[in-house]
Amino acid sequence: MSRLLIGLSKLSSGNYARIHKRSFRSFSLTPPYMKIGTKLTKDSPDGSNIRDVLLFDPTKEEMITVSDKTFPKVLVESTQVGSSHGWGVFSNDIDGSLCISDLYSLLASKSNPKMIPLPSLIDDNVWNVAMSSSPSEEDCVVGIKSRGLVLSLCRPHCDKSWTNIEIRSVESSVKWETANLMFSKRDQRFYLPVPRGNFLFSWDLNLESNESPKFHELRFRDIPELDESEWGMLDACCGRSEYLVESASSGERFFVKWYVYGDFSSNQERYDYMTKRFMVFREEETTKGPYMCYTEDIGDVCIFLSKSEAFCIEASSCPGLKPNSIYYIGSGFGIYSLTNNTIHNFQAPKGVPTSVSDPYWIQSPSSL
- pLDDT (0 to 100) of residue 206: 81
Give the mean model confidence (pLDDT) for residues 284-312: 95
34 Cβ contact partners less than 8 Å away, ≥ 6 residues apart: 55, 56, 58, 306, 329, 333, 359, 360, 361, 362
Instruction: State how beta strands 311-314 and 301-305 pair.
Output: antiparallel
Mean pLDDT of 220-229: 90
* pLDDT (0 to 100) of residue 29: 59
Interior angle at CA 210, CA 208 and CA 213, nearest 5: 170
Give the span between the Cα atoms of 244 and 275, in whole angstroms: 18
Query: What integer pLDDT is reported at residue 360 of this predicted model?
Result: 92
**Local structure of residue 137 (DSSP, 8 states):** S
Mean pLDDT (the chain, rounded): 85
pTM, two decimal places = 0.89
185 and 251 Cβ atoms separated by less than 8 Å: yes
Q: Are 285 and 269 in contact (CB under 8 A)?
A: no
> Amino acid letter at 3?
R
3 state SS of 77: coil
pLDDT value for 274? 86
Distance set, CA 207 to CA 27, 122, 151, 204, 368 (Å): 38, 17, 11, 7, 25
Measure the CA angle with vertex 257, ends 255 and 259; round to 5°: 170
Q: How far apart are CA 37 and CA 65, in angstroms?
A: 10
CA distance 266 to 272: 10
pLDDT at 355 (0 to 100): 53
pLDDT (tens digit per residue) in 185-211? 999 999 999 888 888 999 998 866 666
| Burial class for 347, CB neighbours closer than 10 Å (0-12, 13-18, 19+) | middle
State residue 261's pLDDT score: 87
What is the per-residue pLDDT across 39-59, written as a single tens digit (0 to 9) for each?
Answer: 999 999 999 999 999 999 999
- Confidence tier at 111 by pLDDT (50, 70, 90): very high
pLDDT of residue 16: 34
Average pLDDT over residues 115-134: 92
Residue length of the chain:
368
Least Cα distance to 368 among 79, 107, 99 occurs for 107
Give the model's pLDDT for residue 21.
45
Of all residues in the chain, the percent with pLDDT exceeding 70 is 83
How high is the pLDDT of residue 72? 97
Q: Identify which has the larger pLDDT, 302 or 239.
A: 302
Half-sphere exposure of 332 (CA within 13 A, CB side): 28
pLDDT higher than threshold 50 for residue 22: no
- Mean pLDDT to the nearest integer, 308-335: 94
Tell whether the model's pLDDT for residue 146 goes beyond 70: yes
Q: How far apart are CA 284 and CA 61, in angstroms?
A: 34
Cβ neighbours for 48, distance < 8 A, ≥ 6 positions apart: 70, 71, 72, 73, 76
Q: What distance in Å separates the CA atoms of residue 211 and residue 216, rounded to the nearest whole number?
A: 16
Residue type, 69: K
